[in-house]
Structures are given as structure tokens and as C-alpha cells.
Structure 1
Amino acid sequence: MSAHNPGMDADTFEQFHEQLTRYVRERLIPAEEEVIADDAVPAQIIDEMREMGLFGISVPEEYGGAGLNVTQYARVVNTMSYVAPAYRSIFSINVGMFASALKNGATEAQRAEYYPKLVEGKIACFGLTEPGSGSDSAAMQTTATRDPDGNGWVLNGTKRYITNAPHADVALIMARTEKEALPKNAHVSAFLVPMDTPGISTGSPDKKMGQAGSHISDIMLDDVKVPGEALLGGETGKGFRFAMQSLDNGRISVGAAATGYARRALDSAIRYANERKAFGEPIARFQLIQAMLADSEIEIYAAEAMMADVTARADRGENILVKAAAFKVFASEMCGRVVDRVVQVYGGAGYLAEYDAERFFRDARIYRIYEGTTQILQLQIAKHMLREWEAANG
């Protein structure tokens, strides 16, 4: 993260954010039923999102993007996540991990090539997880070997659970460039790979618990030849570091999304509690219902405060690895508790698919898993705490 990122002019951003909020409420919420029924975001809405510049919000202005700073970017993600998660999913890899990897690690030529593609709405995916490895890069099986016919590389392997893979235009693929595991994961490099490159195929989209309209699938790489310029940053051994740095951004995105979706679920519960009557009065007047509503409001506020803090720190150029992880863990776990209470407020209706509460419950579950599970992030946070203690007391 560069220090002191001013982002878009504050007044301009507030106007854009107001317009976006209106778009979410008036256009995206009414289209949710169609998204869920068809398991796809309508092409017309994707085009509208492109026209609004959503696919390039974090791309620097000199490359045609909106140049939002991290605080503004998180607010956009939070607002877009008030609706069905598929809407965020379609552009989130572009503006989160992919744009962040370009910023942190790409050559100038790579930025000049790929930033404008993100702005025009080409869809990106991020290929880290494999059938046998996720956070454990030492177990990564995908390989990149020197192409004997030139200066390029040949990629082989399989990536799993890759968001947007079925319709992505470009992928950032992590692959081993060394057989042996090296310190600081220097055996892993990153490659910018157009998805129409010969040898690349994707599996059929996986059937999921929730998040209808958001698609994940395997990516199979079978002797995929890429030029030398595809190596992110032009150097081997840096890929995993770039990936981890961009995951800070991805974790802020997931935290912001979980917080926005929790707010949607709570708003739904408040409306239902005022409409549903028992013993002759709205259930909203019952104190145990009120306790569930109040606990949810308290926790959402805490997550919103964490989001404001971690994004401000990122914009000041601070190292946010621990705080981004902490925000993601808290927000995703909080969202899980909120949607569970919302089902309870709905009572029997909360278990029926015709009411929103059941969908909120299913959709929210993934937030505690992707971009680092709660448990992996607990380990990461603790490792840094212990390392700092040792440095101070060693």
C-alpha cells in the first residue's frame, strides 16, 4: 500500500456513493429473484455495472480507473453487499486481489496492459487454491517450467474453488517455479494468464450451499504456454508474497461484504418483527426479540468501526496484515451470528425458502471460509503477536 492515498475527491465520491446506494435499492434488490432463479447475474446488469465503472474502482486514474483509496473501495463493497452476494462477486476479484497484485508486484508494461482491461470490465479470477493445498503453499502442485522453445513458461496443474473461473477473461495463477520448498515461499511465482490461452479449461460450476449467481469451478492447466512477460513482476519467487499482500485487500473486501450483508439481514428482521403478530401485538415488542435485534446492531457497529479503522490505516501506508485478518475474522463470524438470530426472529418462517432469512443464513456461511478461514487467520494473528513479543523480550 502506498502511503497517504487520497483517493477520489471526497465530494465526488459521496455523490457516486449516493448514486450507488440508490442503484442497489432500486435496481439490484428487485432483480434478486431473477438472479437466484437463473443462478446468474443478468447480462444487462453486468453491463450497467461496467458503465458505472465498478470493475475499475481501485485502478489508478492514470489508467482510466476511478482511483478509489482503500476506505472508499471498502465502502463501495459494503454497499454492494447489501444485496445478493453474486453482484459483489462478479467484480470483487478485479478490484480486490487482482488490481492489488498489479499494484504491488507488476511491471509497468503489465500494468499498462491489464489495468485498462479491468476498467473496461474484463473479469478476473485468482488461482491460488488447489485440490490438495490452500493456505499451505509448500503442498502446491501446479508447476511452471521454462519453455524449451523460447523465453516463456509452461504451466501444468489444477486450481480449485476459483471464483469467476467459468466466465473469467484473465487469471492470476500461482505456480511452483522450484521443485523444493524454499524459505518465504520463494518456490512460488505468479503468472498473468488470459483464460483463452490454449490448454486452459474450466470445470462445470460447482453446486454450492448459497450465493446463487456467483460461480466457482476448477481451472485445469494442461501444457499451457505463456510468454516470459506473463511472469508477474518479471521475477520468480515473488508470487506468493504478491498473493498474500493482495489477500489483505481481499480480506477487507470479505469483511466489508459480511458487514453489509449482516445489515441487510438485520433490516429484514426488524421489518418482519414489526409485521408479525403474536398474542395480539407485533413480536418486536417482546423483549427477547429486542435483545436479538440489539445484539445484532451492536456487533454490526463494531464491524463498521473496525472497517473504518483498518482502511484508514491502509490509506496511511501502515502494514495492515494483522488488522485486515482480524477485521475479516470478526466481521465474518459476526455475520454468521446475525443471520442465525434473524432466522430465530422469523421463527418457523425462517426455515422456509420463500422467506429471505433462510437465504441469508446459507449465503453468509462462506464468509468464514474464503480468503483464509477463521482458523488459519487465528494462527496468522497469533504468530505475529508471538513474533512481536519475542522481538521485544528476546
Structure 2
Amino acid sequence: MNFDFNENQTMFRDMVRDFARQEIAPIAHEMDVKGEMPDSLVQKMRDQGFFGLSFPEQYGGLGVDTITYALVVEELARISAGVCIMVTVHNSVGLYPVSMFGSEETKQEYLPRMAAGEIAAFCVSEAGAGSDAASLQATARKEGQEYILDGSKMWVTNGTRAAFFVVLARTPGGEGHRGIHAFLVPRDSDGLSVAKKEDKMGLRASDTCVIDFDGVRVPAKNRLGEEGDGFRIGMTALDGGRIGVSFQALGIGRACLEAAVKYGLVREQFGKPIARQPVIGNMIADMGTELDAARLLGYRAAWLKDQGRKYTREAAMAKVFATEAAGRAADAAVQIHGGYGYVKEYDVERYYRDVRVTRIYEGTSEIQRLVIARELLRELG
């Protein structure tokens, strides 16, 4: 088993590390405080190709493999998880439904624009449909060669910036996962609006919105897959998205570990650096061990995806382990900083807030365990 990265992977990692250090780190705290991301940074990321990472080369993207993508995600999240999630949503759940299930006409029309930086968003969750995505109530009524969408979607990352929305909606009167369809909806569609921008605990640089659909007419050619494929399309997209979230959590966890070590070596109590005290050293050891184990789970899922093999269980394992390990790392980092870890002057306070949502979105920890158990019972039962 080869754990070395190839030249291309190393190049991407180092390029992103330098970009994040130079362009994102100086404004990370300010973005968190203001709850917004400057357009100038988004444009710089367009120019550097961040929005075309996972997009096929034939449609203008960079076509990187999943391991390379994971390295990019970890480096971005290490500096700003809010910036990172903008990129990962676009390159995963914004991309996969179109690239895997869109018609060739749809792909030719939209993927080059998305790869160039016209941002995508993913609309599944609703006020009454979170983990139980099959209970969604947004409707898609067919009328001639169009569908008319009505309803409201919550927790939409990139909501204010998105040029395109992947939307799941059902045939009126239907129940369960049957009768759910997937669509690609342009932002300029009449009746589509941003109803609310959420004021969040963490990931404040990223926008999270409520999106309303009021009689939005969508051409039938913008349906992704066949009628009734929507739920399967959404769940397939989330499998890949979970790999990205695991590496986002790893990036935050790694930042926590680095901050804890740096602070622990300069803060002295009882006559020596606290990092040299066994109780603190043990905390640092646990942080490093758990994050390394999580990274290997993530690499396995990414490798399986690149091999075209089934990776549902492995992605769920990577996500639940990485997000929970990173949460423990953030808690330990705050504890090691003591009172300083509780004030905004120190970045670990932001890391603590940012990491919490990784156990919630793109499938809660509880849902990941349901998926893992289902797959294991199917394999071993």
C-alpha cells in the first residue's frame, strides 16, 4: 500500500496551502466577525480554478481525483472552514447530480459555466424534512414541457451567491421517496427568491439561506435523470459530499492540533511548558492519533470512489469518525488554551464553533451510523 502522494497531488496541496496562507488567513477572523466573504476573494478563487476542481476536463474543469480534492479541502478548512464549505458544496452536491444524471445537452450548457465559477447550491432540506429527506413537501407539477416548482428549502449553502440550484421536489400528493424529482434551476428563474439569510453559530463566512420557489417554471430538459429518480440522485450526491465534509472536519481538527501544540509550548505553568506536562501531552497525543486514523478512513473512501467502486459505507465511516474526532480536538484545544480559548482573540474559539456543524449537515452522525449498520448487516447478515 502506497501512502505517498504523486507529483500532481503534492503540487495542488502546496498551491492551495500557499493561497490560503496569503489570501484567506489575513481576513479569516474579519470574515467570521462580519459574517460575510468579500467578492474579491471569491473572484481570486475563480481565477485559481477552485470552482472547477472536480469538474470533468471536457467541460472546462480541472478533473482532479478525489484524493487531490481531499487534500485541497483539508488545506482550505485548516485556514477557514467557511470558505472551504463554499467550494466543497459547489464541487460535490452542486456538481454530482448534473455530471452523473444530467442529459448531455444539460451538461454542455451548464457545466462549463459552473466550472468557470458560476456557483451551485443544493436544495433538499425543508422545515419538516431534515434527516428524513423523503418527507419533503416542495412540489413539482408538470405542465406541458415544463415543471412548476412550489415550496421552500432551508439550510442552503451558497444561497445568496449561487447561479444554479439543484432542487428536489415531488409530484403533488405523493408520499415517500417515490415521485421525487431532481432539477437544475437557474437563479434568474421568475419566482425564485432568497427569503432569509441565517445568522449562524459557525462557518460565518459562508452564507446559509432559505430559498423560496413560488410558481417557478423549469423546462423539462432541466430535469436530472428520469422522473422519480430525485431521491436516489440526492442520496448518491451525498455519498460523495460526505468525503468532502470528513476532510473539512480534518482541516479544522488539524488547525486545533497545531494551535494547541504552539500554545502549549510557550505557555508555562509549574516551571515548564504545559505541553511538557503529561496531562496535556496525553491530550495532544489523543488528538493526533484520532485525526490520523480519521484521515486514513477518508483516504480509503476517496480511493474507492476514484476506482469506481461502491463507497457508501466507507464514506459514512469517514464522516462520522472524522467529524467526531475533530469535535474532540476542538474541545481539547480550547481546554489547553484555558481562558484564552474562550475569547475571540484566539482562533481556537472560531474552530470550536465551526466544527460543530460537521456532525449535522450532509447527514447527521446518527444517520451515518444507520447507514453503516445497514451496509454491515447487508454484508455480514
User: Considering the TM-score relative to the shorter chain, is it more than 0.5?
Assistant: yes
Task: Give the direction of change, closer, same or farther, for the CA distance of 1:23–1:140 in structure 2 (3 Å limit).
Answer: same
1:247 alignment partner, one of 238, 246, 252? 238
Mapped partners of 2:129, 2:272: distance in 1: 54
After TM superposition, list the pairs within 5 Å mapping 1:150-165 onto structure 2: 150-165=144-159
Q: Is the 8 A contact 2:98 2:184 kept in 1?
A: no
Aligned to 2:254: 263
Aligned to 2:139: 143
Alpha-carbon distance, 1:13 to partner: 3.8
* Amino acid in the other structure paired with 1:312: W
Aligned to 1:198: 190
Alpha-carbon distance, 1:37 to partner: 2.9
DSSP 3-state at the match of 2:212: strand
Task: Give the direction of change, closer, same or farther, for the CA distance of 1:102–1:138 in structure 2 (3 Å limit).
Answer: closer
1:321 to 2:317 alignment: no
1:214 alignment partner, one of 202, 206, 226? 206
Mapped partners of 1:350, 1:337: distance in 2: 14
Aligned to 2:267: 276
Aligned-residue identity in percent: 37
2:76 alignment partner, one of 76, 80, 93? 80
Aligned to 2:342: 351
Aligned to 2:292: 301
Alpha-carbon distance, 1:350 to partner: 1.3
DSSP 3-state at the match of 1:193: strand
Mapped partners of 1:382, 1:93: distance in 2: 26
* Amino acid in the other structure paired with 1:60: P
Provide the alpha-carbon RMSD of the alignment: 1.5
2:283 alignment partner, one of 289, 292, 317? 292
Query: Deviations for 1:253-284, whole angstroms, at most 9, x for unmatched residues?
Result: 10010011100111011111111111232111
1:70 alignment partner, one of 66, 71, 75? 66
Mapped partners of 1:252, 1:330: distance in 2: 11
Task: Give the direction of change, closer, same or farther, for the CA distance of 1:87–1:138 in structure 2 (3 Å limit).
Answer: closer
For these two proteins, the number of residue pairs brought into alignment is: 377
Mapped partners of 1:66, 1:138: distance in 2: 34
Q: Is the 8 A contact 1:57 1:67 kept in 2?
A: yes
Aligned to 2:173: 179
1:168 to 2:162 alignment: yes
DSSP 3-state at the match of 2:349: helix
Alpha-carbon distance, 1:140 to partner: 1.1
Unaligned runs of 5+ in 2: none
* Amino acid in the other structure paired with 2:32: I
TM-score, normalising length from structure 1?
A: 0.92
1:36 alignment partner, one of 24, 32, 50? 32
* Amino acid in the other structure paired with 1:71: I
Alpha-carbon distance, 1:11 to partner: 2.9
Mapped partners of 1:97, 1:299: distance in 2: 27
* Amino acid in the other structure paired with 1:319: K
Alpha-carbon distance, 1:38 to partner: 2.5
After TM superposition, list the pairs within 5 Å mapping 1:217-232 onto structure 2: 217-232=209-224
Unaligned runs of 5+ in 1: 1-8
Q: Is the 8 A contact 2:95 2:120 kept in 1?
A: no
Aligned to 1:11: 7
Aligned to 2:358: 367
1:379 to 2:370 alignment: yes
Task: Give the direction of change, closer, same or farther, for the CA distance of 1:350–1:137 in structure 2 (3 Å limit).
Answer: closer
Mapped partners of 1:122, 1:229: distance in 2: 20
Mapped partners of 1:203, 1:180: distance in 2: 26
Aligned to 1:99: 95
Alpha-carbon distance, 1:10 to partner: 4.4
Alpha-carbon distance, 1:181 to partner: 2.7
